[in-house]
Amino acid sequence: MKKTTLLLIANATQAKIYEVTPHEYGFIQQLEHAESRLKTKDLTRDKPGHYQTSHKSQGQFISPTDAHEEEHTQFARVIADAIKKIMEKKHYQHIILCAEPHFYGLLNQFLSKSLVHLITKVVKKDYIPLPDIELEKVIEDLIHEHF
């Protein structure tokens, strides 16, 4: 049986998933989250509310969470679900994750224990913006290091 590894390269707006073997790799799926690219004003539905007190002071309610952070968290959950579904269809021996550090932290919250145990390498870098030729080089280097 051929050893196969799942490779995830992700940031807060896009994820690319590959199947990696000792001598080759193949593209499995790409996920995109356009909402992460929107401006804050486009992510919030309403303007913050106002309040008054009996002492004639007033203020504005401020959301306790950042709209972009909520979108990033939502996308991390989507990626974790996609990985879970892929793993249910085909058994991979290992997982390699490449994500910028903050997004990796968000993603890690949603990975099941069974998936976390398969992670053999974490690269906390954002490779998504790289041109395809450079991304291919990164993937080939990861294959070489992994196998």
Q: What is the CATH number of the domain that holds 28?
A: 3.30.420.60
Higher pLDDT, 47 or 24: 24
Distance between CA atoms of 34 and 106, rounded to whole angstroms?
17
Full residue range of the structural domain in which residue 11 is found: 5-38+66-146
Query: Per-residue confidence at 124, pLDDT binned at 50, 70, 90?
Result: very high
Instruction: Tell me, yes or no, whether 54 lies in a domain.
Output: no
49 in any annotated domain: no
Domain count, the chain: 1
pLDDT tens, 96-111?
999 999 999 999 999 9
Quick: pLDDT tens for 3-26: 899 999 999 999 999 999 998 999
Question: Is the separation of the CB atoms in 86 and 62 below 8 Å?
Answer: no
